[in-house]
Amino acid sequence: MIDKNAAIYIAGHKGMVGSAIWRTLYAKGYHNLIGASSNELDLREQEEVHDFLRKVKPDIIIDAAAKVGGILANNDFPYQFLMENMQIQNNLISEAHKLGVKKFIFLGSSCIYPKLALQPLKEEYLLTASLESTNEWYALAKITGVKLCQAIRKQYKKDFVSLMPTNLYGTHDNFDLSSSHVLPAMIRKFHEAKENNNASVILWGTGKPMREFLFVDDMAEAVVFALENQLPGHLYNVGTGEDLSVKELAVTIQKIVGHTGQIIWDDSKPDGTPRKLLDVAKMHNIGWRHQIDLEKGIQKTYNWFLENIENLKEKVYQ
C-alpha cells in the first residue's frame, strides 16, 4: 500500500483527466498532492522539469499531461502533436528515473493500436500493423512513452506502468469545436441547436464507426487502483469493454440535451478508425471495473456544461 502522506505529483492536474485524478486521490485521503499549471511549469522544457522535480521531490509521478485534440487538430498540427508530446513525457520519465521515484504511471490512449487490428484490442496488438493516419502523430508519441516505461521496468526493475484509456469524457472536458473530441463536441452542437429553435445539426462522417467511452471519474479510479497495487504487467487497457456506433451516440446525446431537430451526416468528412473497442480483461482479472454507465456519464457531463457555460463562453465561444 502507498503511504497516504506520499508526495504525489500529477502532471496535467488542471486538465479533465488530471483534475479527476486529483479529486479522487484527495477524497481517498491523499493530501500531499503536487501540481503546477502550464504558466508555472512548461513540461516541454527539460531544464524547467529538472529544476521543478528536484525542488518538490515527489515519491510518485502520474503523467496525465499531453497535447490533445480531435481528428482536425491532429491533421492540421502533426509536428506539434508528435514533438510536444514526446518532449513532455521524455522529460518526466527521464527525471523520474534519475530521481528514483517509487512509482510512475503513464497515461496514453487507445489510438496507439493499429487501425485495422482485430477487435477487441488486446495489449499485445501494439506495433503489429499501421496506425490510423488521422491521429498517428499523437499515437506515435504515446507509443514511445509506453516503450520507455517498459524499458525502465525491464532494465532497472522499477514500478513504471502504462494505462491506455479508451475515449474519455466528463466534467471539465474541452468543448472547443476546433480541438474537442466527438462526445463533448456533440453536446455543444446539440445544445446550441436546441437554443436556436432546434436547428439541424451537421455531424462528420457516416455515423457508422463504433466507439467506446469511459467517464473520466472511472479513469481516475483506475489510476488509484494502479497506484495502490503493484501491477504484474507494464501495459493495461482501461475501458468499459462495450461500444456503440457514433450514430447511436448522437441519438443518445440528442435525447439527453433535449434537441428535437434533424441530424445531418456529412459523409464527405472522414470517419476515422472503423472500430476501437478495448479488451479490458487484464484490468478485470486484477480487480478493476468501471462503475458509471454511458447515459449517466453524459447526463453528468451535460449538467456540468450547463453550470459552467458562461465560463466556457469566455474560452471557446469566440
Residues serving a catalytic function are 138
Who contacts 101 (Cβ-Cβ below 8 Å, separation ≥6)?
58, 59, 60, 61
What the block records as the C-alpha cell of 186 is: 456533440
Q: Is the dihedral of CA 144, 230, 110, 166 positive or negative?
A: negative
> Residue 137 annotated as binding?
no
- Give the whole-angstrom CA distance, residue 123 versus residue 292: 23
> Residue 189 annotated as binding?
yes
> Residue 170 annotated as binding?
no
> Residue 54 annotated as binding?
no
C-alpha angle with apex 131: 128 to 136, nearest 5 degrees? 140
Look at residue 210 and give its three-state secondary structure.
Answer: strand
Strand 235-238 relative to strand 159-165: parallel, antiparallel, unpaired?
Answer: parallel
Could you tell me if 216 and 17 are in contact, meaning their C-beta atoms sit under 8 angstroms apart? yes
**Pick from 51, 47, 41, 43: which is nearest to 86 by CA?**
43
Could you tell me if 82 and 137 are in contact, meaning their C-beta atoms sit under 8 angstroms apart? yes
> Residue 78 annotated as binding?
no
C-alpha angle with apex 54: 52 to 59, nearest 5 degrees? 105
> Residue 72 annotated as binding?
no
> Residue 271 annotated as binding?
yes
> Residue 188 annotated as binding?
no
- Give the whole-angstrom CA distance, residue 309 versus residue 160: 38
- Give the whole-angstrom CA distance, residue 177 versus residue 182: 9
> Residue 23 annotated as binding?
no
> Residue 315 annotated as binding?
no
Cis bond upstream, residue 78 (ω within 30):
no
> Residue 17 annotated as binding?
yes
> Residue 15 annotated as binding?
yes
Could you tell me if 135 and 148 are in contact, meaning their C-beta atoms sit under 8 angstroms apart? no
> Residue 14 annotated as binding?
yes
> Residue 231 annotated as binding?
no
Which residue ranges make up the annotated binding site for NADP(+)?
12-18, 107-110, 142, 165-168, 181
Which residue ranges make up the annotated binding site for substrate?
189, 204, 211, 271
Which residue ranges make up the annotated binding site?
12-18, 107-110, 142, 165-168, 181, 189, 204, 211, 271
